[in-house]
């Protein structure tokens, strides 16, 4: 792995920290265990995405683009599958909404970060 992977991992940690502070502020009606479930699930999916994008990385822009598309697709399918499982097991709606919010935030921020990284260095 390279510096970009570690920086993206730090961005994920920052998102998780902000999310946890949001749940501690009691603006959301999410319990601490549910917040930790959201963070743990998102962390696992983020780690999976980092492995897809940065393991055995080559300096081929076309391969990098396909890896990015595969990573985002895997993340979206994973988040939506987990939300579907939560809905079918009658979990609170706030848990599903918070997990979807975390997914949207994570995927948006990582895409912006990676596109900016591509513009400045021409690689991830």
pLDDT category at 1 given cuts 50, 70, 90 is low
Enumerate residues 6+ apart whose C-beta is below 8 A from 25. none
Containing structural domain, residue 110:
3-121
User: What is the mean predicted confidence (pLDDT) over 37-63?
Assistant: 87
Separation between Cα atoms, residue 109 and residue 3, nearest integer Å: 17
Amino acid 65: pLDDT: 81
Orientation of helix 3-24 relative to helix 93-121, angle to 10°: 150
Which residue has better confidence, 63 or 108? Answer: 108
Q: How many domains does the chain have?
A: 1
Q: CA–CA separation, 111 vs 31, rounded Å?
A: 29
User: Does residue 48 have a pLDDT over 90?
Assistant: yes
C-alpha 90/C-alpha 122 separation (Å) is 46
pLDDT value at residue 29: 82
Mean pLDDT for 59-65 is 78
């Amino acid at each position: 792995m390279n510096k970009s992977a570690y920086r993206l991992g730090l961005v994920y940690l920052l998102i998780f920290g902000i999310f946890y502070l949001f749940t501690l502020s009691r603006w959301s009606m999410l319990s601490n265990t549910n917040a930790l479930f959201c963070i743990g699930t998102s962390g696992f999916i983020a780690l999976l995405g980092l492995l897809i994008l940065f393991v055995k990385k080559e300096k081929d822009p076309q391969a990098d683009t396909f890896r990015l598309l595969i990573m985002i697709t895997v993340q979206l399918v994973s988040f939506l599958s987990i939300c579907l499982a939560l809905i079918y097991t009658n979990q609170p709606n706030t848990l599903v909404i918070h997990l979807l919010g975390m997914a949207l935030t994570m995927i948006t921020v990582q895409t912006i970060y990676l596109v900016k990284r591509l513009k400045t260095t021409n690689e991830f």
